[in-house]
Structure 1
């Protein structure tokens, strides 16, 4: 039986005693750790039944980053229970009891680490006190082990047997956390809580949603920058299974009883478009880049010292320009969403990384109170930032309000890649000045982005190590819709910066790794201006990757180095290339990551390896083209992505420093393009200035 909130409450009511602690995952103060009087309180909570079964709701949408496993691991560790006792359930949107109920920015664990620990440790302490009261001993003489409290004279009581009495105790104002050396679950390999259900086909993805009376719809969207002038739908409406054809917001929706019938009808729909200005194409975008590089209206992002003077006095000046195209997020599950808009209530269901913003946007769109909108979270077949946008959810809600029926809006693959929200296209120009000793004395960066906002990261390395720095940005508005793509901005900036620094190191006659370590030593002793990174942690991942990759010690192997800081984490990589049959092939990537405490080792390795594969594939192959506002290609037969036989051996290591967790879903991607490009240069003496490389 599928577990819903209603039958969950019914199930927990079957037990003679249920302890439920409602806690705010996002507030670690004692006042937020209140006892829930009813077992089904839909807060961030854990429940323990009389049999010792622990149920835990995970509030953040699971999108493959492993948060549905990692959050409960932290709670279970501090609760001191057998992981096999824990059942994890996905929470739906609940704005009364959750904050930051979203997936994006690799920030969930960083934000919730202390809250999760306190949630588990508080319950553990209350169980101990309940047992001590029962045995009439001092609580300090008791300890816990795998869901049991152990007394000083051999007493033993399960959490389940103590639940009723523990529920009557006040939540402790202060708690003691476990020592790291006593961890039994954190830092080990924990299987994903949904693994078995996924491989047996049980999860309900957004594309699988089925509700009573539901119809299906596909929406035809105009080329970027175009306006719908007219459409011919009379013949389409006569086709089998077609219920209606309606237009709204420059779009045309075909509504029917099945996706197959809609897709057949769609082939007969004729739409006419117009525009006041020529529609965008590749040539338009190149012209905008050229103009942005020459513009005298750039936004100043950082200025240290006197760059113009320092560059004029430099012994050597190195310049390079880098460019990346728009690219698709291309998740395996195309966009989709269900909506049922009725007078006084709205039911939404689907895969979104940001359910609360979806609720707010739809409330505004429909002019209804937010508390009348219920959002059910489904499994997501990928996202990579695409599902941070809620355009598909808004479409479903608006269409349902028009046709007065519950509807599942389904995008095709061509819709997803041809009318989606893309990674912005960007061009960077770098300039560096070197003195007679090979030291960098001046550093310049101008970023020109198409709908990228500030396309620079002005407080990141190597700033802080150079006296004279000038960083500027230009944002060109485009009709092409853009949004966050895995590791926003840094996904390409990381490559460009690291490829450029290698070119500077070569001009300065320095080893690429040693040059970066020297710069970080300068930051540590005398930083210039504001920085967002810690030089010691930065240097440590560099030193470890040099050791683990045997930097420049492998005969016949060409290596490239890269390091980057993003989402509060540090990742250093060494890529290896061998030339076979005249072609450079990436054979291995070694990565060292400092993301603080590693919660689930297998999940962490998957995140690092997945980010490297993603970064490699998109740096080497992925590209979209535009002509007259139309995107190409729009399916995987022509949109080149990395293939299984192209994935190199990847070794992922982690710095063990016990620091609170930081981001992990994205930080390993930005350095990947740089390490590979630098390795290919070492093998072929060919530098890459544009992505994709091939």
Structure 2
């Protein structure tokens, strides 16, 4: 490492060379583990035991703040019986052949690696035990392990793992290993500090923006100032005349300015004279909203789901109808978009914050015509992503600029770049109809959903599907030149709000308690499910009952000065029910407390799990309050944080209480499931307090003092 913030471009390879001897245990996540000679390099997610006693665990999935760089090594350490304080954790580089799927998205990192990661740790432990047993002439089954040591059947002596690496490396790798019983866990389920905390707090170079290497240039890009425009011609003479500007290059439909620092590159970018030409029609938010709403008035040729005959049922009697509207949202990552690229001939080295390195490798290979196997990718920690860094536009752009300039470059997007030309959560419209019987039950249900660039705007067989005999969903798409992408809890973040809000409306129309109405529907699904379900109604019911008890729901329904709203949702294989408790202060809804009951199977890191649920709640509520992007003639009006407001400390809940249900299931998702129910629980609480329904987000558009 050379200088502050300097990162050697291939430092991550050094962990594969064990000077002085040692045991390197690599493991793929499909297939069996294998032990290799200490000097060999097998870049799987692996465990390294050095002769000096240092143990290094590699985390294969990208770290985006969801805690997998801590959680996955915890699984290894648990099965190996390691002293957590004695290990080092390092981020693995990208290698699909060795690590399998490396992605930060869909709340699936721990869920998808749960069993294989534990097997890798158990394999290492068993080989070390076998090595010790051979030394002592005893049965391996009679030996025990604790804190990085193998203990003799009589309790003494013991051998540190470091003393066994040479012998363990000579042993055949066992094909079958026994995993620990839950009752024997020492790490899993405990609170463990995030392994990156010390480096984050002391400003160590963890993030993509920190990357530095010799001969590198910073690159800032001029992009079309509105959707529907493309590059015509440009004059770079004024930019090239600025002292410090190294080079100006065209890369695809953008123009990049290279300099030794970002500020000079930005000044050069701003001095470019560019003629942008209209390529496709300019769009506006008003036009999109009108078209989306009109689409929801129509029936799809093929419904996404249809049970019974809801059309006939919805023609008479008491029919409730409501239209819910949600806007475009940016991802607004704290760390601006950035990526490093060094393209030389038919080879490329890439490094930076990316959620899907596989997509980056494939897209760079396609665009530049470089063999995928010649594209090497190192992974940095990400300063936020929320789905934005699932996309490959910025990574491909960096590679194109490097190839055009024949220089190593760190591409840096200004905040305005991503707000104006980034990827957004699709805006959508959701029209609900429900028939309420004279006895107060829901007899029929129809959702007509429409969203921008969306193959399916609804959630298909999700709740309340399966609870009603007459049920229909229609999905509609509005194609647009506005670029869209997954946004934390894609689809769920909008549909949950609309659906749980409308269920609240149905409950009030039927004269029923909103929470108990949903329990009644789930009882129907338990007793006599209708069609396909993608959820377990018993687990769904479990979190609702838990949050009702936590929040003392029945005791807080009399009204004032605090008011409660309820919502529940199933997403990414997890069940979350939330109650938001508010007070109205000077016509402003102040969130006093949020209760969250969660069934996510086995919790790995309790600290990380709490952070994910609490962070999702704050994120959801913040965007419900203020989040909105608007288009006029194809241009985004909110260019930076002075115009696009994010939630501040004063807007956050005063207190969040989270309870994880103890259920006998493997881990499920946590990065996203806490967000969706927070929004409708909040808006339902506002209705309880004011009698005003929130059917259009954000709340800042309403007459509340937010």
Fold agreement, TM-score > 0.5: yes
Counterpart in the other structure of 1:567:
572
Shift of 1:297: 4.8
Counterpart in the other structure of 1:404:
406
* Contact 2:205–2:211 (8 Å) recurs in 1: no
* Contact 1:298–1:474 (8 Å) recurs in 2: no
Counterpart in the other structure of 1:597:
602
Distance 2:632 2:469 in 1: 44
Counterpart in the other structure of 1:537:
539
Counterpart in the other structure of 2:204:
202
Deviations 1:511-551 (A, max 9, x none): 11111111111101110000110111101100010001111
Going from structure 1 to structure 2, the CA distance change for 1:344 and 1:573 (only over 3 Å counts) comes to same
Deviations 1:438-476 (A, max 9, x none): 111111111111112201111100010000111011111
Q: Is residue 161 from structure 1 mapped to residue 167 from structure 2 by the alignment?
A: no
Counterpart in the other structure of 1:57:
58
Counterpart in the other structure of 2:46:
45
After superposition, residues 116-135 of structure 1 pair within 5 angstroms as 116-135=117-136
After superposition, residues 591-630 of structure 1 pair within 5 angstroms as 591-630=596-635
Counterpart in the other structure of 2:88:
87
Distance 1:133 1:277 in 2: 74
1:665 to 659, 671, 679: 671
Counterpart in the other structure of 1:292:
295
TM-score normalised by length of structure 2:
0.95
Counterpart in the other structure of 1:107:
108
Unaligned runs of 5+ in 1: none
Shift of 1:193: 0.7
Shift of 1:296: 5.1
Distance 2:568 2:648 in 1: 25
Q: Which moved more, 1:510-519 or 1:548-557?
A: 548-557
* Contact 1:298–1:473 (8 Å) recurs in 2: no
Deviations 1:357-403 (A, max 9, x none): 10111011111111111111112111110000110111111111111
Deviations 1:127-172 (A, max 9, x none): 2222222111122221111111112222311111122212222222
Distance 1:294 1:141 in 2: 71
Q: Which moved more, 1:204-213 or 1:647-656?
A: 204-213
Counterpart in the other structure of 2:685:
679
* Contact 1:203–1:379 (8 Å) recurs in 2: no
Distance 1:278 1:451 in 2: 16
Q: Which moved more, 1:293-302 or 1:532-541?
A: 293-302
CA RMSD in angstroms, aligned pairs only? 1.6
Distance 2:295 2:615 in 1: 34
Structure 1 ranges of 4+ moved more than 3 A:
294-299
* Contact 2:250–2:404 (8 Å) recurs in 1: no
Distance 1:107 1:363 in 2: 26
TM-score normalised by length of structure 1:
0.96
Deviations 1:636-655 (A, max 9, x none): 11111111111111111101
2:230 to 227, 237, 246: 227
3-state SS of 2:351 partner? strand
Q: Which moved more, 1:47-56 or 1:457-466?
A: 47-56
Distance 1:235 1:646 in 2: 45
Shift of 1:568: 0.3
Shift of 1:299: 4.5
* Contact 1:299–1:474 (8 Å) recurs in 2: no
3-state SS of 1:35 partner? strand
Counterpart in the other structure of 1:21:
25
* Contact 2:79–2:121 (8 Å) recurs in 1: yes
3-state SS of 1:502 partner? helix
Distance 2:515 2:285 in 1: 37
Q: Is residue 332 from structure 1 mapped to residue 334 from structure 2 by the alignment?
A: yes
The count of corresponding residues between Structure 1 and Structure 2 is 686
Shift of 1:249: 2.7
* Contact 1:564–1:572 (8 Å) recurs in 2: yes
Distance 2:222 2:634 in 1: 14
